[in-house]
Amino acid sequence: MENAAIAVGTMRHLGKNDREDVVIELLSSDALSTSAIEGEVLDRDSVQSSLRRQLGLSAAPLRSSPAEAGIAEMMADLYRHPIDPITEERLFEWHRMVMNGRRDIADIGSYRRHDEPMQIVSGAFGRQRVHFEAPPSERLAVEMGRLLEWLQQTTPEGPDPHAALTRAGIAHLWFESIHPFEDGNGRIGRAIAESALARAISTPTFSALSKSLLRHRKDYYAMLEAASSTLFIDDWLSWFADRALEAQKSADELVRFLIEKTRLMDRLRGALNERQEKVLLRMLAEGPEGFTGGLSAGNYATITGAPPSTITRDLSDLVEKGALLRTGERKATRYRLNITTDT
């Protein structure tokens, strides 16, 4: 949990507008990732616009889809109420948010009530493989009552990283094993894990947990399946802790990158031509990882449409101004942002 505290502490040194931008970037990253795990691709700008409206910030007049507005509403609730307990009522509210606009779900804002077993299956019809079968609908109130009671009884006292990670890992696995909703269990289960981590330090964690789980999506599903089937959870808890710590490190790097991004653009304000600014903003939009392999003159031409002589002058000027770092020679020349996220 150390990196989560570092990220929060670092943000306190930002001005109000910059801090708001960082919060929106972090929340939208988590919203996009948790949706992508379920195969749902959302528009970043629309999600960010919805988040800004949810948090009472100025927002571009973009129309968001129901899915984008719903996931933004849940992420905003997690951010505004990091230490609020997980109750049945709060879970039902999250489900209504995540299922926003859905017409194919019978039970929205309540546990599933159908008689058929809830199964996780894959494969073509007739050759389906059942990965997991959740408890029947009539047992959900009892099973969820036990989970919610446990969450209340095990609230960690003080920022003990081991207790927090273990509690978050158990809570996520337990919820997914019950699978109480007709749909949306993955997104809500990851929100429960985020909440458990936040309660350990009494503040939003900005852990980017979903981004890490998306990166390891295949293993994520395999580990969940193995643990929920055997009830031997040591391997799951170890794997989950590694992903949570990886996520916190990634979030800390993103916070530092966004801070340095703001400083860089402030320093260069008024000193760039339109082409240079367009390229820098395009590179910055890629995040800490930047362009794969670095920016080339060919990339610059594609983005700006400028001729070779202009590209050479523009790039040399950006290096001279300290915006870019140059590596390689001739056709192997590449440019990277002059930004560091080291502590």
Give the C-alpha separation, 104 to 316, whole Å.
56
**Placement of tokens 């909703």 in the chain:** 181
Flag whether 242 is marked binding.
Answer: no
Q: Is 221 annotated as a binding residue?
A: yes
Is 179 considered catalytic here? yes
Residue 186 annotated as lining a ligand binding site: yes
| 301 vs 15: CA distance, rounded Å | 35
Nearest CA to 236 out of 257, 219, 249 is that of: 219
Q: Is residue 196 a contact partner of residue 190, using CB atoms and an 8 Å limit?
A: no
Known binding residue 12? Answer is: no
Report residue 276 as tokens: 């240079």
- Write the CA distances from 205 to 28, 208, 248, integer angstroms: 14, 8, 8
CA geometry: angle 16, 18, 23, nearest 5 deg: 95
Classify each residue of 5-16 as buried b or exposed e, where b means 16 or more C-beta atoms within 10 Å of its C-beta: bbbbebbeebee
Planar angle of CA 149, 151, 152, nearest 5 degrees: 65
List the catalytic residue out of 81, 114, 131, 179.
Answer: 179
- Copy the structure tokens of residue 38: 């379920």
Residues 6+ positions from 234 with CB-CB distance below 8 Å: none
Residues with Cβ within 8 Å of residue 337, at least 6 apart in sequence? 264, 280, 283, 284, 290, 323, 324, 325
- Find out whether 243 is annotated in a ligand binding site: no
Asked whether residue 220 is marked as a ligand-binding residue, the answer is yes
Known binding residue 79? Answer is no
**Of 287, 109, 285, 113, whose CA–CA distance to 188 is shortest?**
109
Residue 328 marked in a binding site:
no
Question: 237: closest CA among 160, 161, 147, 167?
Answer: 167
Q: How big, in percent rounded to 5, are the helix, strand and coil portions of the chain?
A: 60, 5, 35
Catalytic residues: 179
**Binding site members for ATP:** 183-190, 220-221
Residues marked as binding? 183-190, 220-221
